Amino acid sequence: MCGIAGAAWTDPARAVDEQTLVRMTSQLVHRGPDQSGTYLGDRVALGHRRLSIIGLADGRQPIANEDGSLIIVFNGEIYNYLGLRTRLLEGGHRFRTNTDTEVIVHLFEDLGTECFAQLNGMFSLAIWDTTRQRLVLARDRLGKKPLVYYSTRDRIVFASELKAIVELDDVPRRLAPRAIDAYLTYLYVPHPMTIFEGISKLEPGCFATWSGGELRVARYWNPDLNEEDRTASEGEWSERLAELLKDAVRLRLQSEVPLGAFLSGGIDSSIVAGLMQELSSSPVRTFSIGSPIKEFDETDYARSVARHLGVEHREFIVAPDALEILPQLVWHYDEPFADSSAIPTWYVSKLTREHVTVALTGDGGDELFAGYDRYKALRVAQAVGRLPQFVRRALGSAVWQGLPGSPYRKSFLRRLKRFLAVVDQPPHELYLTMLTTFAATERIALYSDDFANGLAGNDPLEFVRGTMEQSSRRDLVTSAMLTDLKTYLVCDLMTKVDIASMAHSLECRQPFLDYRVVELAARMPLRFKLRRGRTKRILVDTFERYLPREVQRRSKMGFGVPLIHWLRGPLAGFARDVLEDPRCAQRGMFSARRVTTMLDEHIGGHQDHSARLWALLVLELWQRRWVDR
């Protein structure tokens, strides 16, 4: 696992020299602390930072093909590289290293950009073609590895992280209002935007070519999400799933450095750990993080799974210090990123790295096999939406009165009111409502007149709406799952895990996101995943041997932190100091009065604005670090 950066240009006045290239890659040391390398050509500069996983002795990058006509810098792992290498050797290619990186450059020599569809792995890469004087960028199918770029007519600059690109003095740091609008909607900035105007993310499953000042982006992976296979029985689906997921885990056990797994005690991570143990000759090392606050602690379940599987388990109980960690998060995430589960992910990555260099995770199981409660809620919503309005209101009141007293009661009420208010809308709109942190009316109330006027006609929900159209002929729940897979999982979960793990030079691998498993799950009918309120049904039935009974039937627990308590307790004063600081108002984006009202309502216990206030707090701290410098 590594960090890459570089540039290509047509105008010599826009060249990136070695000193600048080293400055860019120095921002990525955490991604690759073991080695660094550069290549400087007539019209190109390629830089690399290496975290050694495979080919420890001979894996220094950049790497070229036999005649030096192709040079690559690569971040990631290709799990099927040994089979590809054998085929290339039989075709007459000569190798100088034992790395997966060199396999790619030879494969590109044979197939050009068609080679990316043959790679099973996670990656972002750049290849300079000296013969055609073109730069080729590519990113894996599900966006597990990041890649951002800034392109003009006379130069393109790229990097694994935004912080490397903005090292160049002539790359502007102009805030993108549309990106801020989207961030407050989703808590992340969706691709292809970044928070800065003109700098873009390469979308998952895409490659880009830059030649003669012209940039072209194309997609190499675009499965038909409307395809559903209704011919196979449940037993046949289970057999296919067991075979593919086991092979996905087997491929991800390739490593020349210590390897382990995150174990939360949930279904997905338990299955991954179980398959690892089945394929290993010695006890697998697993790691979990616990909280001193019981409602946020899963260590009992993780401990139960560890005993059941016979793995070597370590758990860490951590009371997160938000004031200590926030500056680190703001620096590492580059953009405003307000998924608060980044905090425990940060800690479990940090502590796991003390013992292993590679960790397998259960990411992707929820999106592929209907693990989120919102999928059950969508089914209920469809039924409730057919009731008369007065019945819906009565139902909402009854549900509210029946809720036990808890700090989440008001939060649930707010979401329930929004939910009941839109159940008579078209079905896909129900799902969109569930995704938003600040609804459109709430954002308008927050924005200053000038900022709102500058966003006239902008609708950040088009990002999700457009993705849903790709599976519009499927049932609503399946369409929502596939949309989550291509939006929420990529832009939120993969970003969260990649940045938190690579900040500590830890490589995370996700067997559920092997593209073969994804394509299988996408074709699977919903009835095998969700039935009578039971989620992940086929996963539990197929892999029940790895799951203690209490884990099979447990409710899903989010990987979160007690934001609602923090922002009424230890962080309340800090939040006021930051959000009511004159600097905040002087930025001209938000109504100072509305921000104060939200603080008063939350701290006073009248409303739960914790997610919104956290988003505003992260945004302001991000601006102080990256805009004000």
CB 260 within 8 A of CB 284: yes
CB contact set of 125 (below 8 Å; sequence gap of 6+): 4, 72, 73, 74, 75, 76, 104, 137, 138
The alpha carbons of the chain give a radius of gyration, in whole angstroms, of 24
Here the tokens at position 55 are 């080919």
Angle at 376 (CA atoms; ends 424, 367), nearest 5 degrees: 115
Three-state secondary structure of 157-224 = EEECCHHHHCCCCCCCCCECHHHHHHHHHHCCCCCCECCECCEEECCCCEEEEEECCEEEEEECCCCC
Q: Could you tell me the sign of the dihedral formed by the alpha carbons of 160, 166, 170, 176, in that order?
A: positive
Angle in degrees, 0-180, between the axes of helices 342-352 and 322-332, rounded to the nearest 10: 90
508 included as an active-site residue: no
* Sheet with 199-201, edge to edge strand ranges: 35-40, 44-50, 2-9, 155-159, 148-151, 199-201
- The burial class, CB within 10 Å (0-12 / 13-18 / 19+), for 298 is buried
CB 369 within 8 A of CB 528: no
CB 224 within 8 A of CB 371: no
CB 443 within 8 A of CB 454: no
Phi, psi of 205 (to 5 degrees): 70, 20
Angle at 586 (CA atoms; ends 584, 588), nearest 5 degrees: 95
- The length of the chain is 629
Strand partners, 206: 219
Phi, psi of 322 (to 5 degrees): -60, -40
Q: Cβ of 202: how many Cβ atoms within 10 Å? A: 21
Indicate the DSSP class of residue 126: E
Angle in degrees, 0-180, between the axes of helices 234-251 and 267-279, rounded to the nearest 10: 70
- CA 465 – CA 205 distance, rounded (Å): 19
Here the tokens at position 280 are 């290993």
- CA 46 – CA 101 distance, rounded (Å): 14
Angle in degrees, 0-180, between the axes of helices 572-579 and 610-626, rounded to the nearest 10: 50
Selection from 317, 351, 267 nearest residue 537 by Cα: 267
CB 118 within 8 A of CB 85: no
Strand partners, 35: 50
- CA 438 – CA 524 distance, rounded (Å): 33
Q: What is the residue type of 498?
A: D
CB 287 within 8 A of CB 316: yes
CB contact set of 429 (below 8 Å; sequence gap of 6+): 422
Residues 2, 206, 491, 584: which is the catalytic one?
A: 2
Catalytic residues: 2
